[in-house]
A and B are shown apart, each in its own frame.
Chain A
């Protein structure tokens, strides 16, 4: 406990030091300072988070007491610890990466203000996660929102960026208002601000209150998490920010939205209804599908990653929804498994999305270009960045042995457990959402094949891509750390799952770890014991392989049958990894030995005999993803902004100009109509203001009359 206090204090000190140093030192020194203080802060956060997760003890510290509002208490429970650890995991490499990356802004934008804002943002995020009462939470939340707005707006000379930042602020604040109303409803029932008080009063809440709180908090926090329908800001704001900030936005701040949803709906007011769970599941699945569709057709590296963030948050949310349904249906263990899957995927997303955003930043810095149509062939000029980006792409496309595979598979498997539910309608919804997520997973593979191939393979399609240079060593180290984390989380799920299960257990009162990572194949329940002979068979078959080689458990058990159905579904990425390495080695050896005797002739690529194969004769990113665009035309709903043919003389064309404009689906159905209505309302109100004294007097009279009538009727 003392140690954690010291850590927390030094975190705040480091933050203060960072702010002061940024404010006083000259611009060119700021990146280095930021890298030191930022990574120190991140490491302290990780230390706090891991300690709480490892010990399972809640850490709290009362800072001061203000008379009417009660004590300001910082508190980190295991749930918050997961988020804090993930945050540290992302912020450490991001801070390192910033050392080299920020220098591109030297002389153009103020690096001092960046330093101040960055340190402030880290502190605000950490405080948001560590508060234990509504007021402090909302204050920290607002600080985080405003600081992140400033950072998105950092390249303020670009009009598009300021617009994106403004949109993010407006939508975020609208979400916050909804969240505040939800909290007011809770406070109203509890009569106090601390989370503990709210938790205490939850049992007595009525169905209407539950629905109201759920809807307000889910959609309020959903805006921050980038869920449909409030995701319009995300694909604009994330690409607008500098790459390191994008990594924080995608890897950390989106998590805060999820944190809010989990904190309110799982902890403060645990759901007893199936309905909210279904809503969460459907919204999550739709967000995932729409996110990946747009990601697949996006050609700007960072915009693609932003859409892909919506997809991943959607998957996490779908798993949360499944957990809510399981929980409301009394399947506590299944609920725990779903929550574990959700948190696991969230942590994974933080890791690989951070990595990919840093990779995009490295590409942008090295080639000065992030549009895939104008990239290509970077693997020759930027081999290390290419390798790390490939790790990130494989991870996000859910390819073993990386982390995306473990969590996405777990999520899908958990959804399949819906067969154990009773309501048919719910099962159908689960099946449809499962199908949507499966489609999402396959599109994700398409999307990242395209991204990697179009950016790093082939011929350079622009001069910028042809003369790209490798990123700075600190940037490579930052990406290397995240790549290693992606691999570690992928091959060691049996260590990750118990830790996450510990965080989830207080919410569901059931342990997923015992179900998912059993110490050994004990029968699931004493009543349905597996036959002793079967257990013995399994033991001899090698379920225990590596028990003495690996320091921990190696298998994830997804389903255990009973006596009537003696089967066990299990997988082990930990065991699979060395096997995979061995197989690759064997293949390499076989090829090496088998072809040693032959002479190898290298010929230029076959081009059909054209005089010259140009980069402009190779597939572009647009071309690669065009089939997806054609098939899902209804979603993209393109319109032709320009379809002109220029002629130099009759029948002699000189140019065919075409431009396609797509309106983002959330804009089309939500943001644009809303904006239209508010414009209309504003115009109507403006029309009332004629400035005549008599008119205003009439308004006053009319209002008075209405109030009187209303009072009489009510």
Chain B
């Protein structure tokens, strides 16, 4: 057994400095297109190329709806003038309505918040990236986030997947079983708009049965984007900083 202790102690600490400093390692994020100004006909063509309608051409300006982007790369590969690319990962954005404006969890949850992760029809990638939050690179425990298997202890419901019909009732029950105050974080394009799978008879186009408070786009969003979403929902990341480079987000919504 002691071998493992020694091995563990000898392993260098790879943990990211995020959120204190941005993470610049290559391959930590797939990136996402950002609003770009292009000649009018090129813009229209690019918007058409997008398989999920994440791009919209307004004259010379192509705006991006991150909630629809599935990283098909069709707006950058095989085209003469590609979209500008945002290599960051602070994509999470609050989602509120006039009737129910976004409010982060209170100060009591800044030191420690418990998360229930529910898979409502995910392809495995978002779930894997959520799991990676526990690995030594991202280590969300250092920020006071803990995953719990029961909604009774959970403050945050983290949903991945498009919301399949077979999971609807279980998802609803899990949300109802959580004590107030509670927040819902929808992770991944599937959970926001259904991606390429929905809507269909077997699945909703995203999680609409529950009041989603924070949306983390991406297919899948890299771990740091999810972490950013968690910081946002606990009020530890400024909502304004989110969507840097994706300024059109709010309008596109």
Chain A residues with a Cβ under 8 A of chain B? 601, 603-604, 606-611
User: Which of B152, B169, B179, B180 contacts A609, CB < 8 Å?
Assistant: B169
Say which size band chain B's interface belongs to: 10 to 19
**A248 to B169 Cα, complex, angstroms:** 54
Query: Taking beta carbons and an 8 Å cutoff, which residues of B are in contact with A?
Result: 150-152, 167, 169-171, 173-174, 176-177, 179-180
Complex Cα spacing A104 to B40, Å: 94
Q: Determine the distance from Cα of A360 to Cα of B112 in the docked complex, in whole angstroms.
A: 49
Residues of A within 8 A of B167 (CB): 609
Contact of A603 among B150, B169, B170, B177 (CB under 8 A): B177
Contacts of A606 in B (CB 8 A): 150-152, 173-174, 177
Contacts of B176 on A, CB cut-off 8 Å?
Answer: 603
Do the beta carbons of A601 and B150 come within 8 Å of each other? no
CA distance A609 to B173 in the complex (A): 7
What is the bound-complex CA distance between A604 and B151, given in angstroms? 12
Closest 10 CB pairs of A and B: A609-B170, A606-B177, A603-B177, A609-B173, A606-B152, A606-B151, A606-B150, A609-B174, A603-B176, A611-B169
14 inter-chain pairs at a CB distance below 8 angstroms, sorted by A residue, are: A601-B179, A604-B173, A606-B151, A606-B152, A606-B174, A606-B177, A607-B173, A608-B170, A609-B169, A609-B170, A609-B173, A609-B174, A610-B170, A611-B169
Closest to B174 in A: A609
* Set of chain A residues within 8 Å of B173, measured between Cβ atoms: 604, 606-607, 609
Interfacial chain B residues near A603, Cβ < 8 Å: 176-177
Q: How far is the CA of A601 from the CA of B180 in the complex (A)?
A: 9
CB distance from A599 to the nearest CB of B (A): 9
Q: Measured between alpha carbons, how far is A609 from B174 in the docked complex, in Å?
A: 7
A606 to B150: give the CA distance in the assembly, Å.
Answer: 8
Chain B residues near A608 (CB-CB < 8 A):
170
**Using Cβ atoms and an 8 Å threshold, which residues of chain A touch B170?**
608-610
Give CA–CA (A632, B150) in the complex, Å: 34
The complex places the Cα of A588 from the Cα of B167 at a distance, in Å, of 41
Q: CA separation between A607 and B174, bound complex, in Å?
A: 9
Contacts of B177 in A (CB 8 A): 603-604, 606
Shortest distance in angstroms between B213's beta carbon and chain A's nearest beta carbon?
20
The residue in chain B whose Cβ has the minimal distance to the Cβ of A608 is B170
Q: How far is the CB of A607 from chain B (nearest CB, A)?
A: 8
Per the bound structure, the CA–CA distance linking A607 and B170 in Å amounts to 9
CA distance A316 to B192 in the complex (A): 70
What chain A residues lie within 8 Å of B180 (beta carbons)?
601
Residues from chain A with a CB closer than 8 A to the CB of B179 are: 601
With contacts A603-B176, A604-B173, A609-B174 known, what are 10 further pairs, Cβ within 8 A?
Answer: A601-B179, A603-B177, A604-B177, A606-B150, A606-B152, A606-B173, A606-B174, A606-B177, A608-B170, A610-B170
Q: How near does chain A come to B230, taking the closest CB pair, in angstroms?
A: 22
A610–B166 Cα gap in the complex (Å)?
11
Interface centre among B150, B151, B152, B173 (most CB of A within 10 A): B173
How far apart sit A251 and B208, CA to CA, in the bound complex (Å)?
65
Inside 8 A of A601's CB, which chain B residues have their CB? 179-180
* Identity of the chain A residue whose Cβ is nearest the Cβ of B179 in the assembled complex: A601
A174, B152: Cα distance in complex, Å: 61
Bound: A607/B177 CA distance, A: 10
